[in-house]
């Protein structure tokens, strides 16, 4: 934790349920403002981290946001995700990063952090340029001061997260500070397999799961630990899956219904929590992971609580957890920023 009497102030945009913010809090940053439009994310954030502005970012004026030393933004990733339509900037959500620029121009914080899916790196801007290059250029030239910007594709399992989840981070440090950020080194992957995280004490909250459909449950019965839908006998597959099995090349050899073994690191958990989209099936029990198990795969601590009072809330919690930035990954990046920028002797500790 930071030893500052007045720790660096964090402004958080598109905060989700708080994975990124919790990681920065653990690294010693002080939250002064957070925002997310999703009501389910708001509910979880307020339970664990405090007040969050629930308005659409388009409705929020720059003068309404308190000054921060650092601004973070996990702007919507769906337009760039391989699990979505990949419309990129042609999806209205794909341009929401421009709202971040609007606020950055007003505040010119010392540090900026953007986080998104790796699909952003292969997305083209409306003029044909690579979107990642546009983001770097926008930040580098801002207001004649600009930022030294670096970006890197990180695998969460390299930073203490029990999940192979690739995300791109952009970190910009204001040029007058004279620092070019260096991403933290990879860590050893000790104790990250499912065997080390699924033994949860009974008194920990949110140990409920979303029941599989009858068709899904029928398929899961045939899938061994470490297997997938390819282990299901052909005659037991639904007609839709038989058509895909008949022409695997056409469908790019999908690996539906992945059941990771206890001796593997889990794959990416998605917001949909569907067996076709992510490894959400328990290694040895014929069910989805519970909300708490998914939270552990995303490196949320057991005292971070979620809402599970109704079936609607259960599915919503899978969504907000799947959309979150893994806490341990966020903390690793945040700690590196704290050490390289805010503990630098010739930089003011606070505004």
Per-residue pLDDT of the chain (351 residues; tens, 9 = 90+): 445 568 999 999 999 999 999 999 999 999 999 999 999 999 999 999 999 999 999 999 999 999 999 999 988 754 443 444 434 344 444 578 889 999 999 999 999 999 999 989 988 888 888 889 999 999 999 888 999 999 999 999 999 999 999 999 999 999 999 999 999 999 999 999 999 999 999 999 999 999 999 999 999 999 999 999 999 999 999 999 999 999 998 888 888 999 999 999 999 999 999 999 999 999 999 999 999 999 999 999 999 999 877 778 999 999 999 999 999 999 999 999 999 999 864 445 444
Q: Contact 53/33 with Cβ under 8 angstroms?
A: yes
Secondary structure tally for the chain: helices H, strands E = 9, 6
Burial class (CB within 10 angstroms; exposed 0-12, middle 13-18, buried 19+) of 339: middle
DSSP H helices, 130-175, are: 131-140
Which pLDDT score is estimated for 192?
98
pLDDT at position 75 is 83
Confidence (pLDDT) at 3: 53
Q: What is the pLDDT of residue 98?
A: 85
Q: Would you state the structure tokens that stand for residue 277, as one six-digit string?
A: 């989209």
Cα distance between residue 351 and residue 347, in whole Å:
10
**What's the pTM value of the predicted model, to 2 decimals?**
0.92
C-alpha to C-alpha distances, 154 to 104, 157, 165, 184, 185, nearest whole angstrom: 24, 9, 8, 10, 10
pLDDT at position 254, please? 87
Pairing of strands 70-73, 147-155: unpaired
Examine the residue annotation and report whether 77 is marked as an active-site residue of this protein: yes
At residue 4, the pLDDT reads 59
Contact in structure between 135 and 154 (CB atoms under 8 Å): no
Phi-psi region of 44 (alpha: psi -120 to 50; beta: other; left: phi over 0): alpha
What is the DSSP-derived secondary structure letter of residue 138? H
Q: Please tell me the predicted confidence (pLDDT) of residue 86.
A: 38
């Amino acid at each position: 934790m930071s030893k500052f009497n007045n720790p660096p102030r964090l402004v958080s945009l598109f905060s989700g349920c708080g994975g990124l913010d919790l990681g920065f809090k653990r690294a010693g940053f002080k939250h002064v403002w957070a925002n997310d439009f999703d009501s389910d994310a708001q509910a979880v954030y307020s339970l664990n981290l405090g007040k969050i502005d629930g308005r659409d970012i388009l409705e929020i004026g720059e003068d309404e946001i308190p000054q921060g030393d650092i601004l973070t933004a996990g702007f919507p990733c769906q337009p760039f995700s391989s699990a979505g339509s990949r419309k990129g900037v042609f999806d209205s959500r794909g341009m929401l990063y421009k709202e971040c620029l609007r606020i950055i121009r007003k505040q010119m914080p010392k540090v900026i952090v953007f986080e998104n899916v790796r699909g952003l790196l292969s997305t083209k801007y409306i003029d044909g340029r690579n979107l990642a290059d546009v983001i770097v250029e926008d930040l580098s030239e801002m207001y004649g001061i600009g930022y030294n910007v670096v970006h890197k594709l990180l695998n969460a399992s390299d930073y203490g997260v029990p999940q192979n989840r690739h995300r791109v981070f952009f970190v910009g440090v204001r040029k007058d500070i004279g620092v070019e950020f260096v991403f933290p080194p990879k860590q050893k992957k000790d104790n990250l397999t499912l065997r080390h995280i699924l033994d949860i004490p009974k008194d920990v909250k949110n140990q409920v799961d979303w029941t599989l459909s009858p068709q899904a449950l029928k398929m899961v019965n045939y899938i061994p630990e470490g297997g997938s839908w390819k282990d299901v006998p052909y005659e037991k597959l639904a007609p839709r899956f038989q058509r895909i099995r008949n022409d695997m090349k056409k469908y790019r050899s999908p690996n539906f219904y992945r059941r990771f073994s206890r001796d593997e690191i889990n794959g990416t958990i998605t917001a949909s929590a569907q067996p076709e989209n992510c490894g959400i099936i328990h290694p040895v029990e014929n069910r989805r992971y519970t909300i708490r198990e998914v939270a552990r795969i995303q490196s949320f601590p057991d005292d971070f609580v979620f809402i599970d009072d109704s079936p609607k809330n259960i599915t919503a919690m899978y969504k907000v957890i799947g959309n979150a930035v893994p806490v341990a990954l966020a903390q690793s990046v945040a700690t590196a920023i704290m050490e390289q920028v805010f503990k630098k002797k010739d930089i003011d500790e606070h505004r």
